[in-house]
Amino acid sequence: MAPNRLIILDTTLRDGEQSPGATLNTEEKVEIARQLARLGVDIIEAGFAFASPGDFEAVSQVARTVGSDNGPIICSLARAIRADIQAAAEAIRPAARQRIHTFISTSDIHLEHQLRKSRSEVLAIASEMVAYAKSFVQDVQFSPMDAGRSDPDYLYTVIEAAIAAGATTINIPDTVGFLTPLEFGALIYGIRQNVPNIEQAVLSTHCHNDLGLAVANSLAGVENGARQVECTINGIGERAGNCSLEEIVMALHVRRHLFNPIFGRPADEGEALTAIDTRQIYKTSRLVSNLTGMLVQPNKAIVGANAFAHESGIHQDGVLKNRLTYEIMDAETVGVSENRIVLGKHSGRNAFRTRLRELGYELGEADLNRAFLRFKELADKKKSVSDWDIEAIISDEIRLIPEAYRLEQVQVVCGDLGIPTATVRLSTADGSERTDAAVGTGPVDAVYRAINRIIDLPNELIEFSVQSVTAGIDAMGEVTIRVRHEQRTFSGHAANTDIIVASTRAYLNALNKLHFALAHPTHSGGVLGSPDAAAQKL
Ligand X SMILES: CC(C)C(=O)C(=O)O
Ligand Y SMILES: CC(=O)SCCNC(=O)CCNC(=O)[C@H](O)C(C)(C)COP(=O)(O)OP(=O)(O)OC[C@H]1O[C@@H](n2cnc3c(N)ncnc32)[C@H](O)[C@@H]1OP(=O)(O)O
Binding mask 51-90 for ligand Y (x = CB under 6 A): xx--------------------------xxx---------
- Cα 194 to chain center, whole Å? 35
Nearer to ligand Y, 145 or 457 (CB): 145
Q: Interface with ligand Y includes 175 (CB under 6 A)?
A: yes
H helices, E strands: number in the chain: 18, 14
Query: Which of 61, 98, 127, 171 is in the footprint of ligand X by CB under 6 A?
Result: 171
Note whether 297 binds ligand Y by CB under 6 A: no
Q: Minimum Å distance from CB 285 to ligand Y?
A: 22
Q: How far apart are CA 278 and CA 257, in angstroms?
A: 17
Q: Is 224 annotated as a binding residue?
A: no
The beta-strand segments (E) located in 270-358 are none
Backbone angles phi, psi at 216, to 5 degrees: -60, -45
> What is the spatial distance between Cα 106 and Cα 85, in angstroms, rounded to a whole number?
19
**Per CB under 6 A, 489 contacts ligand X:** no
Describe the strand order of the beta sheet including 460-468 as a list of residue ranges: 460-468, 477-485, 488-496
Residue 80 binding partner per list ligand X, ligand Y, none, with a CB distance cut-off of 5 to 8 Å that depends on partner kind: ligand Y
Q: Which is nearer to ligand X, 181 or 304 (CB)?
A: 181
425/415 Cα distance (integer angstroms) = 22
Which residue has the CB atom at the shortest distance from ligand X? Answer: 173
Does 143 sit near ligand X (CB under 6 A)?
A: yes
Min dist CB 259 to ligand X, Å, is 24
Instruction: Considering only the stretches 120-128, 168-176, 386-394, 485-493, report the one whose residues sit in contact with ligand X under the rule CB under 6 A.
Output: 168-176
Site for ligand X contains 204 (CB under 6 A): no
End-to-end CA, the chain: 56
List of residues 6+ apart from 50 with CB closer than 8 A: 56, 78, 79, 81, 83, 84, 87, 88
Query: Of the two residues 28 and 45, which places its CB atom closer to ligand X in the complex?
Result: 45
Site residues for ligand Y, window 228-247 (CB under 6 A)?
Answer: 238
Distance CA 416, CA 423 (A): 18
114 binds, among ligand Y, ligand X, none (CB under 5 to 8 A by kind): ligand Y
Q: How many residues does the chain have?
A: 538
Task: Using CB under 6 A, pick the residue from 6, 12, 15, 355 that binds ligand X.
Answer: 15
Considering only the stretches 118-126, 169-177, 374-382, 494-502, report the one whose residues sit in contact with ligand X under the rule CB under 6 A.
169-177
Known binder of ligand: residue 208?
A: yes
Q: Count CB-CB contacts under 10 A for residue 13.
A: 28
Site string for ligand X, 76-115 (x = CB under 6 A): -x-------------------------x------------
Q: Give the nearer residue to ligand X in terms of CB position, either 207 or 500.
A: 207
Q: Is 173 in the site for ligand X (CB under 6 A)?
A: yes
Among 60, 65, 175, 260, binds ligand X (CB under 6 A): 175
The burial class, CB within 10 Å (0-12 / 13-18 / 19+), for 532 is exposed
Provide DSSP, 410-429: EEEE-SSSS--EEEEEEEET
The C-alpha atoms of residue 94 and residue 140 are separated, in whole angstroms, by 17
Specify the residue, 88 or 450, whose C-beta has the smaller distance to ligand Y: 88
**What's the DSSP call for residue 476?**
P
Q: What is the CA radius of gyration of the chain?
A: 25
Q: Which does 282 bind (CB under 5 to 8 A by kind): ligand X, ligand Y, none?
A: none
- State the helix-helix crossing angle for 499-519 and 443-454, rounded to 10 degrees: 30
- CA 149 – CA 216 distance, rounded (Å): 18
Output 98 or 205, the one with its CB closest to ligand X. Answer: 205
Nearer to ligand Y, 115 or 400 (CB): 115
- Contact letters (x/-) for ligand Y, 93-112, by CB under 6 A? ----------xx--------
DSSP assignment string, 123-151: HHHHHHHHHHHHTT-SEEEEEEETGGGS-
Is residue 497 near ligand X by the rule CB under 6 A? no
- Residue 118 sits at φ, ψ, to 5 deg, of -85, 165
- The stretch near ligand Y (CB under 6 A) out of 45-53, 149-157, 179-187, 471-479 is 45-53
Among 59, 74, 125, 145, binds ligand X (CB under 6 A): 145
Task: Write b or e for each residue in 380-394: b if 16 or more Cβ atoms lie within 10 A of its Cβ, otherwise e.
Answer: eebeebbbbbbbbbb
Asked if 232 interacts with ligand X (CB under 6 A), we say no
8 with 249: CB under 8 angstroms? yes
Residue 15, marked binder: yes
Binding mask 186-225 for ligand Y (x = CB under 6 A): ----------------------------------------
- Angle subtended at Cα 271 by Cα 270 and Cα 272, rounded to the nearest 5 degrees: 115
* Interface with ligand Y, residue 534, by CB under 6 A: no
Which residues are documented as binding site for Mn(2+)? 15, 206, 208, 242
Residues that bind ligand Y (CB under 6 A): 15, 18, 48, 50-52, 79-81, 103-104, 114-115, 145, 175, 238
Which residues are documented as binding site? 15, 206, 208, 242
